[in-house]
Amino acid sequence: MSKIKLIITNKPKNKFLVCVKNAFAHTFSAFSRALYPNNIKCLCCGKDLKTKQDIEICDVCLNMLTFIPETSCCKKCGSFITGSGDYCFNCMDNKREFDVGRSVVVFKDLAQGLVHSFKFGAKPYIKNALGNLMTNKLLSLGWKFDVIVPVPVSKKRLKQRGYNQAYLLGEVISKNLDVPVLNDVLIKAKETPDQVGLNFNDRQENLKGSIKVNNSQHLKDKTVLLVDDVITTGATSSICAKALKQAGAKCVYVISFANVQDKIHTEKNAETKQKNKK
């Protein structure tokens, strides 16, 4: 580190050295900014936080997130349900291959922004806040599991993004709870078209044959925690859980930071009410 500083701060003697110095300083600062943001600021609003904290989100922004309580969620997939009933429409209509799923917040407003920055904004350090919130949720649920498996991304996505966001979240949970994270067990064997706008069945069809298991000996009779950043319809979690179980896993829990289904549920609820009126 001291050598690097020396090169940057030494006065360059000619134009070539100025270029080298600038290029190096630029790369170094982008790299260090990506890994260690300069000051401790709220990840949502940018306000200075007085002290370093495990969840780098200010109280105002934390209060604006819609946390999903146990009393108002689908008992199967964990999506937020505002109406009556124990299960969301997707869980009532479709077979779920995972045992139970839960998410920390509803995927909207600030939560949506956070996930967007984490996934597409080259800010891998957001993993700490999200991973710590997910750890708190897991502790409140009291789940016991033997291994953590992240939902995989394709090689192409990995190359574009530089990291698998689900693996980074798995790493934080692994460190917090001292449970190993296995990054080489689930493989996304083929690139699939974008899933935006697709319903559960279309997604299921879209993902068919795309998830493979490697090194299945690590899964035999194990309880697995499957980790993802966002659950949309639960199709990906379900397909991953099926592959894990076929490879010998005894039980598959799913945890994600955010869950989209609130919107789908509300819309479907409205549709049903409309139909009943007719």
Instruction: Please identify, among the stretches 29-37, 89-97, 137-145, 162-170, the one whose residues bind Zn ion according to the rule CB under 5 A.
Output: 89-97
The pairing of beta strand 186-188 with beta strand 211-213: antiparallel
In this complex, which beta carbon is closest to Zn ion, that of residue 67 or of residue 163? 67
Torsion of CA 124, 128, 130, 134, to 10 degrees: 140
* Given 65, 77, 133, 239, the residue binding Zn ion (CB under 5 A): 77
* Given 65, 73, 88, 255, the residue binding Zn ion (CB under 5 A): 88
Q: Least distance to Zn ion from the beta carbon of 244, Å?
A: 19
Confirm or reject binding of residue 40 to Zn ion (CB under 5 A): no
Instruction: Region of 197 please: left (phi>0), alpha (psi -120 to 50) or beta.
Output: left
Confirm or reject binding of residue 226 to Zn ion (CB under 5 A): no
Confirm or reject binding of residue 74 to Zn ion (CB under 5 A): yes
Instruction: Please identify, among the stretches 20-28, 31-39, 88-96, 213-221, the one whose residues bind Zn ion according to the rule CB under 5 A.
Output: 88-96
Confirm or reject binding of residue 43 to Zn ion (CB under 5 A): no
* Given 56, 61, 98, 169, the residue binding Zn ion (CB under 5 A): 61
* Given 65, 68, 73, 91, the residue binding Zn ion (CB under 5 A): 91
Confirm or reject binding of residue 106 to Zn ion (CB under 5 A): no
How many residues line the site for Zn ion (CB under 5 A)?
11
Binding site for Zn ion (CB under 5 A): 42, 44-45, 47, 58, 61, 74, 76-77, 88, 91
